[in-house]
Amino acid sequence: MASESVVRSDPSGRGSLRDRIVSTNMHILGISLAAVSLGMMGCALLEALTSRRDTAALVVSAVVVGSAGGALWYLTAPGTTRMRQVFATVAWTWILTTAAGALPFVLAGTFAVPGVGFVEQLVNSLFESASGFSASGSTVLSDFEAPGRGLMMYRQLTHWYGGMGVVVLAVAVLPFLGVGGLELITAELPGTSSDRLAPRVSETARRLWLVYIGFTACAAVAFYAADGFSSLYDAVAHAFTVAATGGFSVHADSIGHYDSVAVEAVAIVFMILGGTSFTLHWRAVTARTLPYHRNSEFRTYLTVLSAASAVIVLIVWLENGLALGSSIRAAVFTVVSLGTSTGLSNATGPGSPADYVAWAAGAQLILVGLMVVGGCAGSTSGGIKVMRMRVLGLTMLRSIRYTQTPRAVIPIRLGSETVREAVVARAAGFFLLHFLLVLGGLLAVTSLGGDLETSLGAVFSALGNMGPALGEAGPTSNYAVAFSQPARLVLALLMVIGRLEIFPILLTAAGLFTSSYHAATRQGRHWMRFATRRFQR
pLDDT at 53 exceeding the cut of 60: yes
Query: Number of C-alpha atoms within 13 angstroms, CB side, residue 393?
Result: 12
Alpha carbon distance 343, 135 (integer Å): 9
Q: Report DSSP state, residue 7.
A: E
- 371 CA to centre of own chain: 13
Burial 61-85 (b: 16+ CB within 10 A, else e): bbebbbebbeebbebbbbbebeeeb
Q: Out of 256-260, 280-284, 324-328, 406-410, pick the least confident.
A: 406-410
pLDDT at 236 exceeding the cut of 80: yes
Neighbours of 281 (CB within 10 A): 21
Residue at 498 is within a domain: no
Q: Evaluate whether 161 touches 35 at the Cβ level (below 8 Å).
A: yes
Q: Evaluate whether 192 touches 164 at the Cβ level (below 8 Å).
A: no
Residue type, 363: A
Residue at 157 is within a domain: yes
2 backbone dihedrals φ, ψ, rounded to 5°: -70, 150
Alpha carbon distance 17, 454 (integer Å): 58
pLDDT band at 532, cuts 50/70/90?
A: low
Alpha carbon distance 268, 284 (integer Å): 20
Q: Evaluate whether 183 touches 139 at the Cβ level (below 8 Å).
A: no
Q: 3-class SS at 413?
A: strand
pLDDT band at 458, cuts 50/70/90?
A: very high
Alpha carbon distance 314, 91 (integer Å): 43
Residue 61 lies in domain: 1-109+143-188
Nearest to 271 by CA among 408, 431, 163, 409: 163
Span 101-107, mean pLDDT? 96
User: Who's near 42: CB < 8 A, 6+ residues apart?
Assistant: 157
pLDDT the model gives residue 130: 95
pLDDT at 323 exceeding the cut of 50: yes
Residue at 521 is within a domain: no
Q: Report DSSP state, residue 229.
A: -
User: Who's near 436: CB < 8 A, 6+ residues apart?
Assistant: none
Residue at 14 is within a domain: yes
Q: Which residue has the higher pLDDT, 46 or 207?
A: 46
Residue at 359 is within a domain: no
- HEC-encoded secondary structure of 54-120: CHHHHHHHHHHHHHHHHHHHHHEECCCCCHHHHHHHHHHHHHHHHHHHCHHHHHHCCCCCCCCCHHH
Query: Which element (helix H / strand E) includes 24?
Result: helix 24-49
Residue at 411 is within a domain: no
User: Who's near 50: CB < 8 A, 6+ residues apart?
Assistant: 148, 149, 150, 233
Q: Which residue has the higher pLDDT, 93 or 180?
A: 93
Alpha carbon distance 493, 134 (integer Å): 10
3-state helix, strand, coil in the chain (%, to 5): 65, 5, 30
Residue type, 100: A
pLDDT at 3 exceeding the cut of 50: no
pLDDT at 536 exceeding the cut of 90: no
Residue at 502 is within a domain: no
- HEC-encoded secondary structure of 482-523: HCCHHHHHHHHHHHHHHHCCCHHHHHHHHHHHHHHHHHHHHH
pLDDT the model gives residue 224: 94
What is the maximal distance between C-alpha atoms in the chain?
A: 91
pLDDT at 25 exceeding the cut of 90: no
pLDDT the model gives residue 44: 96
pLDDT the model gives residue 282: 86
Averaged pLDDT score across all residues of the chain: 84
Span 488-507, mean pLDDT? 85
Alpha carbon distance 239, 160 (integer Å): 9
Helix-helix angle 118-133:485-499, to 10 degrees? 20
Alpha carbon distance 78, 9 (integer Å): 12
User: Percent of the chain beyond pLDDT 90?
Assistant: 49
Model confidence pLDDT, tens digit, residues 378-392: 888 888 889 889 989
Nearest to 445 by CA among 423, 470, 420, 421: 470
Model confidence pLDDT, tens digit, residues 261-296: 999 999 999 999 999 988 888 888 888 778 888 888
The domain tally of the chain equals 1
Q: Evaluate whether 382 touches 324 at the Cβ level (below 8 Å).
A: no
Alpha carbon distance 382, 341 (integer Å): 6
Angstrom CA distances, 346 to 261, 331, 355, 409, 512, stand at: 10, 10, 8, 49, 43
pLDDT band at 417, cuts 50/70/90?
A: confident
Alpha carbon distance 343, 267 (integer Å): 11
Model confidence pLDDT, tens digit, residues 218-227: 999 999 999 7
Residue at 493 is within a domain: no
Helix segments in 256-323, DSSP class H: 261-274, 278-286, 296-319
